[in-house]
Amino acid sequence: MAVRATRRLLRDVLYKRVISTPVGGVRHCSSIAETPPKIPHFSRKGRLLTGVTIGLVIAGGAYVSTVDEATFCGWLFNATKLVNPFFALLDAEDAHRLAVAAAARGWVPREKRSDPSILGLEVWGRKFSNPIGLAAGFDKNAEAIEGLLGLGFGFVEVGSVTPVPQEGNPKPRIFRLRKEGAIINRCGFNSEGIVVVAKRLGAQHGKRMLAETSSTSAPPSDGKKHGGKAGPGILGVNLGKNKTIEDAAADYVQGVHTLSQYADYLVINVSSPNTPGLRMLQGRKQLKDLVKKVQAARDEMQWGEEGPPPLLVKIAPDLSKEDLEDIAAVALALRLDGLIISNTTISRPDCIRQSPMAEEAGGLSGKPLFNLSTNVLKEMYILTRGKIPLIGCGGISSGEDAYKKIRAGASLVQLYTAFAYGGPALIPQLKAELAECLQRDGFKSILEAVGADYR
């Protein structure tokens, strides 16, 4: 079986059975099967290197598969480290596209081991096997949800999705600061649009429903549904607005009407620094008006027993104390379901100013963002008095980092840049480290540790 899989993968890579399209190119189709994720064009040498690497991984996996499943699974995740140097040689955006395509095609390991029970928690009535999620921006067009959830994330957030397809900003628009563990991007909501994304999410949702109805396994002993609408993990959908549209609320409302039925939670992204005027929507009046309109659009739809998906707002880290107070007041007054803290920063901390890439325009993510985003998280936890679930995002690269976010007030955490550099092997590592942190300090669950530093 491993030999056949190796041959298929080598044939796909070496003979380019998948044809690539320009980044940001809009694909129109009548079925999901006709829109596979695109793989960037590489030289013959690059394809050969990829094929040989994949072949070695699978061949080694065939050997290790003679041992127990947990050992085999661990080997597969560690084996992905062999591929990381190859991705580092590619253009940043090409590497990103290849990673999404690999996850969409199942060329990534699948986590078979159960998460430590101490990491399980319930937020918004949804059960998370662990609190570590993949932030929006990686799978912008919902191409690889099953593969990404299969890696062991507790939840995956797709998007940002805009109503109308748009290419985003001119390239180059993604810049690595590898030494600093950071990335600067100015993508500008490059999106295939809600129609294409809705088709993919609809297919995924249908697959999930079919699996549930045909399953012969007994329901969970606690009577609660495990996972979400897309599979074993929870799925978030991040909504954006088109660059040329002045009526932002109309764009977000359209996103809600089209995509909310497939989401376990929804996010209003008003904090990307790469869409002109977007961050102005974080003002008290603007945010209040926007959230009310989006909530009304969601609530007017027909929902079953589970009710409508929770609605969150993703905010920037570059906000004053007064800005944060205004956002907290709106969130409490309108009973917002949650906040994501934070998006990328337009500031340039001292630790990266010597980098030749530091002058590039765009949002900075990764390790240099950690302290800034965690301080904003702490402030928002205090301002909302712990009444609103918070997702901590920005600079997480270890289980200890995730733990600090949780102690600062986050119920859930997200990463992106560290995953881009570390690959799949980082996920089980983070979960193990986080479990060790909780046990070290005597906590019996994630929820016990939420906001521990400020309670």
pLDDT band at 232 (very low <50, low <70, confident <90, very high): confident
In 10 A of CB 47, how many CB atoms?
Answer: 18
The model carries a pTM of 0.85
How is residue 387 written in tokens?
């009444």
| Pairing mode of beta strands 311-315, 121-123 | unpaired
- Are 248 and 276 in contact by the 8 Å Cβ rule? The answer is no
Write down the pLDDT at residue 66: 55
Predicted confidence (pLDDT) at residue 42 exceeds the cutoff of 90:
no
Residue 391: strand, helix, or coil: strand
pLDDT band at 288 (very low <50, low <70, confident <90, very high): very high
The 10s digit of each residue's pLDDT in 381-437 is 999 999 999 999 999 999 999 999 999 999 999 999 999 999 999 999 999 999 999
Average pLDDT of span 164-170: 95
pLDDT band at 53 (very low <50, low <70, confident <90, very high): low
Question: What is the Cα–Cα distance from 348 to 364, expressed in whole angstroms?
Answer: 8
Q: Of 22-31, 83-92, 104-113, 379-388, which range is least confident?
A: 22-31
Catalytic residue among 191, 272, 373, 411: 272
Which of 36, 158, 180, 173 is CA-nearest to residue 98? Answer: 36
Query: Terminal CA-to-CA distance of the chain, rounded, Å?
Result: 54
Write down the pLDDT at residue 41: 56
Residue 171: strand, helix, or coil: coil
Question: What is the Cα–Cα distance from 420 to 176, expressed in whole angstroms?
Answer: 10
Residue, of 38 and 160, whose pLDDT is higher: 160
Average pLDDT of span 243-249: 91
272 assigned to active site: yes
Domains along the chain with CATH numbers:
67-214+224-449 (3.20.20.70)
- Are 396 and 366 in contact by the 8 Å Cβ rule? The answer is no
